[in-house]
Structure 1
């Protein structure tokens, strides 16, 4: 089963269960990946979060029912699409459509419709996708790790970005860099000493691990840190151009989108183990980032 078929199987499941409970674990199972990976892929490809897409589809169908079934009560439609009360339903409905549910039954009223998403191969522009494929032996990284929820709930830091900010502020990033030691030979010697690694182990359907890490070498001091072993893998690596610090967020988002939307669907590879590395460095006196994705031939 190819990438497109897996993604569309997941969309079929969601469409059939809009008037019921959508289990994200089942969505991910049909796409042959984890819940965290599916939500990331979906948002990078479509520019909308999975939760927002589901909300829009539910409220699109709710509006159609209000218009086409005068006998149906607003409270019944609200409950059908997962809202606990008419008040919460009316608030969400008005936020999307700009009118109340009762007004939706008026003749000639304007409503919004968000159609079902289908994944297709499309012909786009001729922009080059810069990448390289490398096979690396097993290696180790060590550092500070936290487990985050996919919905970014919980106490701060509740995102990797906040984790980085806090660790810079309290000096932990600098301390880790001082303990990193020499860079291994398979890493560019222009790389910094502290990087990020994501989804390197299973922490449950609704969570994912993230570590601020350094590559372990013979001169590293790993005392007090978590250490993980990354098995021998084939990696597809997407490098950035030299950039300023304030351009990092947009650059990383673009690289993820190039991987998920442009490269992966037609490459003949699939992502494995979901391990992702963000390797930071210098280039032309500025800064750079490489995204490493573990892949294998289909």
Structure 2
């Protein structure tokens, strides 16, 4: 997988002055567009689209300082429809406009070209299982919240604190399925997985209940049949859970013949009495990678 990702980086470098076709990148990586975007974001720490934008503006910055072609020619070469649009993007990354940078020789920001390498650690094993599930339903209370990569998600904390205890008890009374009990479900995430982008958060249960049994104020999210990878962890909260999410994409996916597929991500958490430790089970929708010949 890492070798194919590096081939994608070569492709991007050759097409910085052209639209980058993500479908073609996925073909180079021998995976789906959905999985490529998720893998890149997890490994690189920024969305694929943001990396391409920053690489373009890095190369454009060198040409601005070089001074041999006009600023409008540079803008058009790197896909900006006007000099004004280029100037706004340039200033957002470099902190100065292109005209000022050319005139004063201002220092610019550089986005290094990425290369993916394997680091062998093997200090711990990852506990997981792969299961086939028939269709089921998530029933719960729903909110639109921002994505937070590290540390507590205050929007989710505030949402859960504001829930009526009676509704939660009604949810617990529905016929349960694995993972049992109250779960946190994330759905409709932005493909970029960028910090601050929004997602649908459900606080509810996995059930086989019919639509007529949904408690007042709750909503139902139908989930089709499919394959799920189930990961378990324990440790300080929220770090242990966030590190699990990271490790799945940086260690498990590159080492196993599966890729992510669209669908909700389900987290079941059991807290210690003092609230500092957690045991967690993370369910991710996956599919087998196609056999390449």
Same fold, TM-score > 0.5, yes or no: yes
Deviation at 1:62, TM superposition (A): 0.4
Please give the per-residue CA displacement for 1:240-259, whole angstroms capped at 9, x wherever unaligned. 4252xxxx3x5443222101
In structure 2, do the counterparts of structure 1 residues 269 and 88 end up closer, same or farther at CA, with 3 Å as the change threshold?
same
1:86 to 52, 69, 83: 83
Unaligned stretches of 5+ in structure 1?
Answer: 147-155
- State the match for 1:4 in structure 2: 2
Please say if residues 267 and 281 of structure 2, whose CA atoms lie closer than 8 Å, have aligned partners that are also in contact.
yes
SS of the residue 2:261 aligns to: strand
Question: Does structure 1 residue 226 correspond to structure 2 residue 220?
Answer: yes
**Distance of 2:60 and 2:250 partners within structure 1:** 30
Structure 2: how far apart are the matches of 1:281 and 1:217? 21
Shift, 1:124, TM fit: 4.3
Following TM superposition, by how much is the alpha carbon of 1:76 offset from its aligned partner in structure 2, in angstroms?
1.7
Query: Aligned pairs, how many?
Result: 271
Shift of 1:73: 0.6
| CA pair 288-84 structure 1, distance change in 2 beyond 3 A | farther
Query: Quick one: structure 1 residues 157 and 228, their matched pair in 2 at CA, closer, same or farther if it must change by over 3 Å?
Result: closer
Moved more, 105-114 or 93-102: 105-114
CA contact (8 A) 1:184 1:217 kept: yes
Q: Tell me what 1:293 maps to.
A: 284
Instruction: Give the Å deviation of 1:231.
Output: 2.3
CA distance in 2, matches of 1:233, 1:254: 23
Pick closer, same or farther for the CA change 1:7–1:183 going to 2, 3 Å.
Answer: farther
**DSSP-derived class of the 2:62 partner:** helix
The Cα of 1:34 is off from its aligned counterpart by 3.8
In the alignment, the residues of structure 2 paired with residue 281 and residue 88 of structure 1 have an alpha-carbon distance, to the nearest angstrom, of 46
Q: Which runs of 5+ in 2 are unaligned?
A: 148-152, 192-197
Residues 25-174 of structure 1 correspond to what in structure 2 (within 5 A)?
Answer: 26-28=24-26, 30-31=28-29, 32-35=31-34, 37-68=35-66, 70-102=67-99, 104-105=101-102, 110-120=107-117, 122-138=118-134, 140-143=136-139, 157=144, 159=146, 164=156, 168=160, 171=163
Distance 1:130 1:81, change over 3 A: same
Q: Kindly tell me: are residues 16 and 132 of structure 1, through their superposed partners in 2, closer, same or farther at Cα, counting changes over 3 Å?
A: same
* TM-score of the two chains, using structure 1 as the length reference: 0.69
TM-score normalised to structure 2 length: 0.70
Closer, same or farther: CA 218–110 of 1 in aligned 2, 3 Å: closer
The superposition leaves residues 3-61 of structure 1 with CA deviations (integer Å, 9 ceiling, x where unpaired) of 335434543443333223234455456542244x4333322211223333122101111
For 2:109 and 2:230, the matched residues in 1 are separated by 40
8 Å CA contact 2:233–2:240 kept in 1: the answer is no
- How far apart, in 2, do the equivalents of 1:18 and 1:177 lie? 55
**1:175-194 counterparts in 2 under 5 A?**
175=167, 178-181=170-173, 184=176, 186-187=178-179, 192-194=181-183
* 1:14 match: 12
Q: Which residue of the partner structure matches residue 229 of structure 2?
A: 235
